[in-house]
Structure 1
Amino acid sequence: MKKLLLVGATLLAVGLSQPTNAEASTTESKVVSTQTESVALSEDDLVDMLKDVTSNYKAFMKQAVSDVFKTWTIKFNTEIDPDTFNRDNVYVVDEQGEKLMTVVKYKEGTNEGVIMAPGIGYEKGVNYTLVVTEDVKTTKGVALSQGVTMNFELSGDDSQQNDKDIHEYSKEELEDWIDKEEELTRLREYPIKNEFWDNLDEANENLRTRTGWNDEEVDRVFLQPSKEFMQLYFNRDYSTIGESFKEDIKYFFRHDHTYRGKEYDAFGELPNLFDALVQDTKEEKRISESIFVTDLSMVHQMHEGWNTNNRIRGTQYIRYTSGSHLPEELDLNKWYKRDVDVQLANYAGNNTITWETAMYVFDGVYELTSYEEVEK
């Protein structure tokens, strides 16, 4: 893979993955001059010594790509602050200057970041511009000495457009493809288990009125714990799972829990549950990816007789790429979805719970619909 290198006066380097020989937009060697020296520009690489300028962006030569879902890799010569590698500072715009819904992700420990194509891919004949602003900074707060732009255009057969199978989408690509508002609208139509309120909106409003909590408090107490649990529990990789998973997962448990037919009581057995989760993941060689679509409007209370609990409604997307203990109706390497209520409960602690837990801990996932295969 050829590299396009930018070396600034601060010695912060950026490398953009280039097309293959068949995609290269130039095949002849050229010479580019700066104010201080000349350097060779060939189809294999480009090195251009830049002045320490922050007001004007450096434009690289235009590239032709054939992949509708092209992923660009941006390489730095030092560790970057992940918070600055975001869609405000690294993005793609079209000919009208409109930002695309790309997925931007910094891979910590590699000094590399990626910017993935939007879910619908790129369109043939449109001139796109990849932008890296000078607001990208190192972990020591040193900014990129000069912003970078690079134009690129999709070439090739029109039949490539939108041909990517949904099951080949990465987790980030699928998350970008999901119509969140459509999901939330559908979720509001399901009935709720509450003897006093007729629908989700009424139950959500009543919970806020009864507690007196604002959005920030509802988010902290209910929404974030449910999202974090679903992220941790359903995104597992047998090759990396271990002690850190057990340390993280116990934050959501302080009450009896049944797992695969065995009950683990809160008086000393919960650590055995955490061990079992890790052991089973490794033995089954499980790799699963999951997305939980929800928001503050999905928080409500279930009320039946004396039984009252708080629930967070959402749509779960999941794909297993490895494993031997899948839900019965699921195949490997396919994305599925189901609608669920995640239940949280405020159980009292005991002196055997020596770790910090959420105010409302995990109490169960209740299916509203069965798994169904995701389709475009």
Structure 2
Amino acid sequence: MVVPDVARGLALLGIAMANVSAAWIITHDRPASHFGGIINDSVLDKAAVLFAALFVHVRGLPMFSTLLGFGVGLIALSLWRREFPLRRARRVLIRRYGWLFVFGAVHCIFLFYGDIMIFYGLAGILLALLLPLSDRALMIVAWILLALTGLAGLGFGVLGYVEPSLAVNFSAGGMGDPVDTSSYPHLVGSQFMFFLLQLAGTPLVFFNYLPLMIIGFVWARRGTLGDVASHRTQLISWCVAGCAVIVLVGLPWGLGSIGVVPESFAAAGLMANSFLGVFTGPAILAATALALHGVQERVSGGATLPRGLWALAALGKRSMSGYLGQSVLFFALVYPFTLNFGPQFGAAGQMAIAFGVWLITLFLACILEARGLPGPFEWLHRRVSYGKTMRPEPTPRLAPGGVKEGVDKQELP
């Protein structure tokens, strides 16, 4: 299927652009610091701030969360078609996403405190436990959580408009430096503490992002992205919802941040977007499915994927390697004890750095795709999750003579 892979490749660009200013390069000494800042009243910086408020912050991550749920759903469907018993299917998923949690913990402690794989691992395990629930029951849970998220977003938006100073707690730049970047040992120590804080804050992340994963999970089971024609009304409805968030939340936020409208609009937008922005996840995925419907039909009929989409799909197939590759590149570039490249730029410059980082991961993914090779971390994840066969097995495989592979016959009774 074309849509999920292309969407993952696009989502990684949004994640890079959001993380560069909100997590990797923390600034305090300039207007619109959350976006990387405006230096010397730069028009380019202002344009970048407006673009980021509309299309970057709390956009790529919600779409990626929806896609992760979609991926869990596809794996569950594959296990069902192969007649895995429920208990065995759960074990397969729990092992796979348990290892994702481990990857995330290592990533968080030793490389990037803003890791999201920790949550994804825990959420994947939770979805494994929810396998027997019907689509209707799952969607009831998702809609309840989304309704609460929407109410929280509206409430915090009003609060931010009335008391703009409260918005500082929603911005990494306003909270001070979350980790100590004076040296690598100090960084590891503070990131370990942040890992513990992230575990403690997991319920709040579940509140915001679990419903998106459930929607993706149900879309996989219902074949929503594979049969756009039958689900067009639902997909269009999500597009309308996403556009509403971008226009009604992102636009005032961006205009307030660059001084076109009062600062209170920026505060309200920042606080509201922290919650309402999650609605753009399914929306952007729905828009991608609608836009690529014709391409998907042609590819299903035997046509080749256009080059640009082929490149995005190549990265999307290797999304874990792409995500971790971003961290390696940002780590080498931006910290004071590495190249210290980036803090001197405003929003436009930092966005350009993020685009360059993403472009490097895109180029490497294309090389792997051309050679028919998986991403290194995708390979490792499958290896530790499934063993030597690199795929889930319904029962222990038997060698000739009915003996379990890997077991010495002399050890059997």
**Structure with a larger share of its residues in helix:** 2
Higher Rg of the two aligned structures: 1
Please indicate, yes or no, whether the TM-score normalized by the shorter chain is above 0.5. no
Scaled to the shorter chain, the TM-score interval is under 0.3
Report the TM-score, using the length of structure 1 for normalisation: 0.25
Report the TM-score, using the length of structure 2 for normalisation: 0.23
**Structure with a larger share of its residues in strand:** 1
Structure with higher RCO (Cα < 8 A, 6+ apart): 2
